[in-house]
Amino acid sequence: MIPLAIPHLGGREADYLQQCIESTFVSSVGPFVDRFEQQVAQAAGVAHGVAVATGTAGLHAALAALHVQRDDLVILPALTFIASANAIAYLGATPWIMDVDPLSWTLDPHVVEQALAQHSHWQGDRLIHTPSGRRIAAMMPVHVLGTPADMQRLIPIAQRYKLPVVADGAAALGAMAHGQAIGALGAELTVFSFNGNKTVTCGGGGAVVSHDAALIQRVRHLTTTARQGPGYDHDEVGFNYRMTNLQAAVGCAQMERLTELVGAKRRIRDRYADALGDLPGVTPFQAPSWAKSAWWFSGVVVDRPPQRQEHLRAQLRQLGVDARPFWKPIHQQAPYRNAPVSATPVVDGLWWQILTLPCSCGLTEQDQQRVIDGVRQVLKG
């Protein structure tokens, strides 16, 4: 079976792990953590970063740092991994779920603008969601699949409504928009994941980056039990969300090869686009012309009935190709069935048509050809 996405640990990971063990720096203080934070911030195009235990923890801490509170709403696209919504829910807040753009699959600025114009009003300096009376506290665009959300249009809307922006860039390290790196597109905070299936992995891990040193300091404070100084004084309810030196050791070795790893993802996606674009009812993953996606995942949109979709996946598995469905929208998930949601025609028509294909950085040309041949065989009719 050609797997969907497995890590590519072809650098100095083992060497750096050995250094951790010999130095006894295996826990959350250590030179690899500092180095990793600098590498990630630099790659994201900003000056400051803090490494954390997971991407989800990073999202939680980022929203907390921007003072999202119980009963607040946070604008969130319907098409994302459940972790984005969970981070909002951990704070007692609720996602306000909105539709995505049909090309990029990221939060649609037009939809956000309309929803805010029609369903919000000011109460002093509080922006209120008119139907529920709740405060609207933040906006969380998601750089889906490593394709940047349209921040050039989203940021002015956020500014007009005084909403801080946390970008879920979990899989988007290495992506660019209008020639700018992914952390420098106007979000107050951008969050990455280094989970095992991401392009760059620490086994598990995350990072929060920003141009704003004070804000990153606040995230760091919250993720280190809100401890003040060397004694046991804590000034608020913090979290133990630190990354360990062991995780960072793997991460540092991976970051040294970021260009190579993201380059491999882009080549894989381009090859699928070239080899499968002519099949009827099949559209390879697309991105807007101004975006340079990091192409965490590759695949095709297959315009066939949902039952046949299942059948296609089963047939591909029989040919040794691990093809999988993609995220089910947030408003269809049990914990978020009662969350406010704007009309979502794009995501409702799209999500079940998405078929992700093997795209490990180490996928050989030969194996990719096997996937292409298999997909052509199964989808030609």
Ligand X SMILES: *Cc1c(COP(=O)(O)O)cnc(C)c1O
Please give the backbone phi and psi of residue 139, each rounded to the nearest 5 degrees, phi first: -125, 135
Q: Whole-angstrom Cα distance, residue 22 to residue 249?
A: 13
Per-residue CA distances from 370 to 172, 314, 319 (Å): 27, 16, 9
- Going residue by residue from 144 to 183, which x/- string records binding to ligand X, judged by CB under 6 A? ------------------------x-xx------------
- Going residue by residue from 205 to 244, which x/- string records binding to ligand X, judged by CB under 6 A? -x--------------------------------------
Q: Please, what is the minimum distance in Å from the beta carbon of residue 136 to ligand X?
A: 21
Told to judge if 292 belongs to the known catalytic residues of this protein, a careful annotator would answer no
Binding ligand X by CB under 6 A: which of 81, 295, 326, 351? 81
For the chain, the distance separating the N- and C-terminal CA atoms, rounded to the nearest angstrom, is 24
Residue with the CB atom nearest ligand X in the bound state? 55
Per-residue CA distances from 97 to 18, 131, 255, 274 (Å): 45, 14, 33, 34
**Closer residue to ligand X, CB minimum distance, 85 or 155:** 85
Site for ligand X in 53-72 (CB under 6 A): 54-56
Cβ-contact 314, 66 below 8 angstroms: no
**Closer residue to ligand X, CB minimum distance, 193 or 293:** 193
Q: Whole-angstrom Cα distance, residue 189 to residue 156?
A: 16
Q: Please, what is the minimum distance in Å from the beta carbon of residue 145 to ligand X?
A: 8
Binding ligand X by CB under 6 A: which of 147, 195, 244, 254? 195
Residue 188 within binding range of ligand X, rule CB under 6 A: no
Cβ-contact 78, 344 below 8 angstroms: yes
Residue 344 within binding range of ligand X, rule CB under 6 A: no
CA contacts within 13 A on the Cβ side of 375: 31
**Burial class of residue 314, CB neighbours in 10 A (0-12, 13-18, 19+):** exposed
Residue 84 within binding range of ligand X, rule CB under 6 A: yes
**Closer residue to ligand X, CB minimum distance, 195 or 254:** 195
Site for ligand X in 284-313 (CB under 6 A): none
Stretch that binds ligand X, among 27-35, 77-85, 338-346, 356-364 (CB under 6 A): 77-85
Q: Please, what is the minimum distance in Å from the beta carbon of residue 128 to ligand X?
A: 28
Q: Which entry of 162, 198, 328, 380 is annotated as an active-site residue?
A: 198
Angle between helices 213-223 and 55-65 (to 10 degrees): 120
Binding ligand X by CB under 6 A: which of 39, 80, 94, 199? 80
CA 12 to chain centre: 26
Cβ-contact 359, 4 below 8 angstroms: yes
Catalytic sites, residue numbers? 198
Which residues of this chain interact with ligand X, rule CB under 6 A?
A: 54-56, 80-81, 83-84, 142, 168, 170-171, 193, 195, 206
